[in-house]
Amino acid sequence: MIESRTYPSAPSCFVRGVDGGKKIRGIKFQLGLEKYGIPLAIDASPANVHDTKGIVPVLRQLAGHDFQGPAIGDLGYRGKRLIYAVPSAA
């Protein structure tokens, strides 16, 4: 499963952005989770990075660890960018 969470952050801790949907100034964590909720891959980015861009490093981490199978996410994770995110998936 793939998921993102947005958290407020202090100005000095990371490059921040504003998540337009949640109106939070901070950072966004992109997660790749297994079916029981255990994290397999994590990446952090400014909150204004769209989910389809932010999840690409997580998908590449999963592919590097020979993960095989479908990734389930909400409607924020749709589009052609994700189909070609991992070279072996294209």
pLDDT number for residue 88: 54
Rounded CA gap, 50 and 16, in Å? Answer: 13
Range 51-76 average pLDDT: 84
pLDDT number for residue 23: 84
Enter the pTM of the model: 0.75
A 10 A CB-CB count for 15 gives 13
Position 75 pLDDT exceeds 70: yes
pLDDT digits (tens, 9 = 90+) for 29-52: 999 998 898 999 999 999 888 888
Rounded CA gap, 36 and 48, in Å? Answer: 28
pLDDT digits (tens, 9 = 90+) for 8-19: 887 776 678 887
Nearest residue to 63 (alpha-carbon basis) of 90, 24, 26:
90
